[in-house]
Structure 1
Amino acid sequence: MLKSMLACCKLYISESRNAIALDSIERAAKLHPEAIITNIFKDEVYNRVGYTIVSHFTPANSSLDASSPLKRAVFSMVKAALEAIDLELHSGTHPRVGVVDHICFHPLAQASMDQAAGLANSLAADIGHKLQGVVDCGSHSLGRQLQCPSPSPPTLEAVRRIARRVSGRGGGLQSVQAMGLVHGENSTEVACNLLDPSSVGADQVQLEVQRLAHEEGLAVCEGYFTDFSQERVIETYLRTIKSCN
């Protein structure tokens, strides 16, 4: 197997407390053994779970081909989530657009962005056609607010200012996306996506958040990760797939 021909999907679902629903989603993934879940991150405060799924590419399934094991696995997980979760019963403080909140594909190692984009486009078409799902390819394109029904603590506006200032869009650190969110009854957090961690890493983000928080008169705890590095994701996939063969 070529280490260079791998792709990864990050699948975020608006549920982390319903064990029966999560079991159904994970059993759906196991129907496609060539695709491996390398990480599961559950946040019970947000009531949200993130799955990292990895599979190989071959010339026959490297783009839109329906035989792509990664695409088939993610589609099965999405279908299971839609069948098992009632969003009207959902409560949590993370913004969300639906039961399946966010799906993104990434090339690993030497796989190309075009291949990952092809998988994303093909999966989006299948969800729309086969599951009659509404697919939003970028929340800003709809010009609407995400749902987040929880009350706001007094510090939230300050945390949102920090998030804007630390983000690339707000003139801060390039390749950093950030949101200020409520996380539990007595805490808020600056949730960040590091789009290019080789250029701007977590340590740099931590220091900048601490600096900006000091200006706001807020104390800052140490940040945490919701997934592994690209290298560890690849290692986990290769080790797991080897043990299954």
Structure 2
Amino acid sequence: MQLIEAVPNFSEGRDNQTIQLIAQALASVPKVTLLHLDAGMDANRTVYTLIGPPDLVLDALLKASKIAFERIDMRQHQGNHPRIGALDVCPLIPLSKITLDETIRLSQQLGKSLAETHQLPVYLYAQSASSPKRKDLASIRKGGYEALGDKLSLPEWAPDFGPILPNPRLGASVVGVRPILIAFNLNLNSCNLEQAQTLAKALRTRRNTDPQLASVRFFGWVAPQLGRAQLSTNLLDYHQCSIAQVFARVSEVAQNMGMQVTGSELVGLCPLEALIDQTQTLSDLPAAISALGLDELGHFDEDSKVIELNLLKKGKIHEVQSLSWRFPNQ
């Protein structure tokens, strides 16, 4: 059976009713499994993870978007995470018996449907990008929702689908095919935004001399709800640079700058192999969680946060080793 993962990021992390209505819409389509949702109050953003047959996942995304678009107004949105729209970004990840080209066509179908149904500018990014400058999500989102009108007025930033004017209520959306991305935040012993941003800049500079960090993105922010600053990272290829390697690199640079990494936070889900290497077994997972300080902010529920264990718990697979998470050509 063909299988894909989708990770829609909706710009609502504070209104629990809206968060749950979106979740119900995603879970309402037969054979689609909502694995997890991660709501962030400071970011004012919720990340959902679902898995299922491609056409049915597409149906679930369109149903959930309709609900979200009735309830989210970007003109009122405040949050500390970069964003340009109500459905800010929706990556698709091919998992089983589906080619990269087939998944790209699905992302194009999703983008076209969103644009036509909701009069919404839609950009294609990552493997679906229509030009090299659109591969990087940060380039598309630069300036945020507030600068979207100016961006859309530039010919080189005309959307792939939809109008060349922003939808005042919904902004714009970004859709594309990418490998599994891991959103991993490192907690700092500081509440200083400038320090967190300086640390992020130093790590971006280090990418020039440390090839392993080439696939890692860094962003510094303060999370008032947590009472501390965080270094937010996106691991675009955890095979190239693992969670443990990112933790070690960031800890080293932070210490050299007079800061300390006290623990970490996983936003959304990750594969088991991102936490333990091929020489380790499932029994090594608790030690890995402890070493990364993933339980500093609260209990880390591996049965919920690790993709294979989540699927195992829900009866979708029968053994942890039954699925491969390698992206085509990876």
**Is TM-score (shorter-chain normalized) higher than 0.5?**
yes
Residue matched to 2:85 = 98
- Aligned ranges for residues 194-205 of structure 1 at < 5 Å? 194-205=235-246
What is the letter of the counterpart of residue 119 of structure 1?
L
What is the letter of the counterpart of residue 222 of structure 1?
G
1:123 aligned to which of 71, 87, 110: 110
Residue matched to 2:61 = 74
- Cα RMSD of the aligned pairs, angstroms, is 2.8
Q: Deviations over 1:104-145 (max 9, x none)?
A: 001114533223222211101100111111213344555842
Matched, 1:20 2:17: yes
Task: Point out the more displaced range, 226-235 or 201-210.
Answer: 226-235
- When normalised by structure 2's length, the TM-score is 0.61
Q: Deviations over 1:157-200 (max 9, x none)?
A: 31331341365798661322222223227532222222222231
Distance 1:179 1:137, change over 3 A: farther
- Aligned ranges for residues 135-174 of structure 1 at < 5 Å? 135-138=122-125, 139=137, 142=140, 144-147=142-145, 153-165=193-205, 173-174=213-214
Distance of 2:270 and 2:44 partners within structure 1: 24
Distance 1:110 1:79, change over 3 A: same
Residue matched to 1:7 = 4
What is the letter of the counterpart of residue 98 of structure 1?
G
SS of 1:34 mapped into structure 2: coil
Distance of 2:87 and 2:141 partners within structure 1: 19
Distance 1:240 1:205, change over 3 A: same
Number of aligned pairs?
Answer: 227
Q: Deviations over 1:61-107 (max 9, x none)?
A: xxxxxxx0011101111111111112233222111111111110011
Cα deviation, residue 54, structure 1 = 0.5
Residues 206 and 222, structure 1, Cα contact 8 Å, conserved in 2: no
Residue matched to 1:233 = 307
What is the letter of the counterpart of residue 118 of structure 1?
R
- When normalised by structure 1's length, the TM-score is 0.80
Residue matched to 1:39 = 36
For CA contacts below 8 A with separation 6 or more, give which structure has more relative contact order: 1
- Aligned ranges for residues 42-61 of structure 1 at < 5 Å? 42-57=39-54
For structure 1, the residue ranges without an aligned partner over 5 or more in a row are: 58-67
Residue matched to 1:63 = none
Residues 159 and 189, structure 1, Cα contact 8 Å, conserved in 2: no
